[in-house]
Structure 1
Amino acid sequence: MTAVRGTGRPLLALGGAMVLVVLSALAFALLTAGPGSAGTPGKDSPDAGFARDMAIHHQQAVEMSLIVRDRTDDEDVRRLAYDVINTQANQRGMLLGWLEVWGLPKSSSEPPMTWMGHGMAYTPHDGALMPGMATNAELRRLNAADGKAAEVLYLRLMTAHHQGGVEMAAAAADLARTEQVKRLAAGMVRGQEAEIGLMADMLAARGAST
């Protein structure tokens, strides 16, 4: 299989599309992030903690998907990668937009997932700040891979990434006080669980397991 080495205008077009997605998501967040019946969340609330942590989690998913789109010409994997880029860049814009509207910082001195009551149950290592996130070493391997090897590694890394994301989103759906966060988190659980099943089938089709 010949790997695609997309440079120049295709990447510029994709980058421009991502900017439009994020700007659209921010605009939507600004329109829908009213305090509602629960009032404006505090900086240490589950709502704010989830928004900060999931924005970081999503950022890496987008990064991995951009990498694999340039490492294979398999249309199924490239289509999945595009869906992840589009969906998670959009959701990340919403999360950051809510923090902006709430007047809350986009970073915290507390460890990730403190809002979930995890404390120090997870130890960040080699760039993997939260469960499911790929390490820097794994991202280097993905960058160096081509063809089927890149596809299998991406699918495995993204499966683990989604599993960590589902755990976080399920907690937010239960703990958040604002309806917009609860709805988005519940939607993430459904969407990412569906993609986990899809990726299991894609791995099996390539003679690989999770």
Structure 2
Amino acid sequence: MIAAVGGGTADAADGAGRAPGVSSPDAGFARDMAVHHQQAVEMSFIVRDRTGDEAVRSLAYDIANTQANQRGMLLGWLDLWGLPKVTPGEPPMSWMTAGAADGHDMAGMHAAPGTDGAATPGAEGAAQGGAVTKPGALMPGMATKEELARLDTLRDRDAEVLYLQLMTDHHKGGVAMALGCARLCRTPAEQKLAQGMAEAQRSELSLMADMLGKRGAAPRP
């Protein structure tokens, strides 16, 4: 048994009581979203030390706290299922090949050989729920090492704007992944968690758009 969103406990198995397989959407989402969440936590800690703006610091704290807790749940399920947290040779997002998230085609979103695990967009730009995997980024919405390094050099408004833009992209990718799990995963507790992620991050997307507007900026195209 493992703690579920909203309190209480939930049996981390599918409706028939079986633990998911290593290549199942349930396991793939848990592995990939744990990595995705870790970067959000990292970005939030960076901006916390780069600005004194209470609104941005509060948002960063909420994102870091929420996503760190959710990451712990995802990794806890993998432990409970007796599954690895890393699967060498398996491209990120491969669990989504069974279908699309939120009505978008996921073909072409897997890592290409020789890209160090970075997913390569397909011929159509590989839009994924409004998010695109950039060259050098591991999964949809994730920042590149260069973007993280740049965020670490900025302060005050410049840091706030870049953080809000990067986190907007990050949330778009996260929503697409969460909706994919809500549709493809078979573990009720994980489906519930994924649906809650999508709803919460959509709300934060609206908040971040407003915060960018107050700073004379906008989400990146």
Cα deviation, 1:86-114, whole Å, max 9, x if unaligned, reads: 10000000000000000001011310000
Cα drift, residue 127 of structure 1 = 5.0
Taking CA–CA contacts closer than 8 Å with sequence separation of 6 or more, which of the two structures ends up with the larger relative contact order? 1
Whether 1:100 and 2:88 are equivalent positions in the alignment is no
Whether 1:172 and 2:143 are equivalent positions in the alignment is no
For 2:10, the equivalent position in structure 1 comes to 32
CA 1:121 to 1:34, structure 2 compared with 1: closer, same or farther past 3 Å? Answer: closer
- Aligned pair partner of 1:199 in 208, 212, 218: 208
Cα drift, residue 122 of structure 1 = 4.7
Report if the CA contact (8 A) 1:33-1:101 is conserved.
no
> Structure 1, unaligned stretches of length 5 or more?
1-25
For 1:121, the equivalent position in structure 2 comes to 109
The AA in structure 2 aligned to 1:28 is: A
How do 1:49-88 and structure 2 match up within 5 A?
49-88=28-67
Which secondary structure does the structure 1 equivalent of 2:83 belong to?
A: coil
Cα drift, residue 58 of structure 1 = 0.0
Cα distance in 2 for partners of 1:77, 1:166 equals 21
CA 1:106 to 1:67, structure 2 compared with 1: closer, same or farther past 3 Å? Answer: same
Cα drift, residue 197 of structure 1 = 0.3
Cα drift, residue 126 of structure 1 = 6.5
Report if the CA contact (8 A) 2:12-2:187 is conserved.
no
TM-score by length of 2: 0.79
For 1:8, the equivalent position in structure 2 comes to none
Report if the CA contact (8 A) 1:126-1:136 is conserved.
no
Which secondary structure does the structure 2 equivalent of 1:180 belong to?
A: helix
Structure number with the higher helix fraction is 1
For 1:4, the equivalent position in structure 2 comes to none
Whether 1:208 and 2:183 are equivalent positions in the alignment is no
Which secondary structure does the structure 1 equivalent of 2:21 belong to?
A: coil
Cα distance in 2 for partners of 1:172, 1:75 equals 34
For 2:171, the equivalent position in structure 1 comes to 162
Cα distance in 2 for partners of 1:62, 1:142 equals 14
CA 1:207 to 1:62, structure 2 compared with 1: closer, same or farther past 3 Å? Answer: same
Cα distance in 2 for partners of 1:198, 1:115 equals 30
For 1:141, the equivalent position in structure 2 comes to 150
Which secondary structure does the structure 2 equivalent of 1:37 belong to?
A: coil
Report if the CA contact (8 A) 1:126-1:137 is conserved.
no
Cα drift, residue 128 of structure 1 = 1.6
Size of the alignment, in residue pairs? 184
TM-score by length of 1: 0.83
Report if the CA contact (8 A) 1:113-1:119 is conserved.
no
Cα distance in 2 for partners of 1:82, 1:35 equals 31
Please give the root-mean-square deviation of Cα atoms over the aligned residues, in Å.
1.7
Which secondary structure does the structure 1 equivalent of 2:3 belong to?
A: helix
Percent sequence identity is 60
The AA in structure 1 aligned to 2:197 is: M
Report if the CA contact (8 A) 2:141-2:172 is conserved.
yes
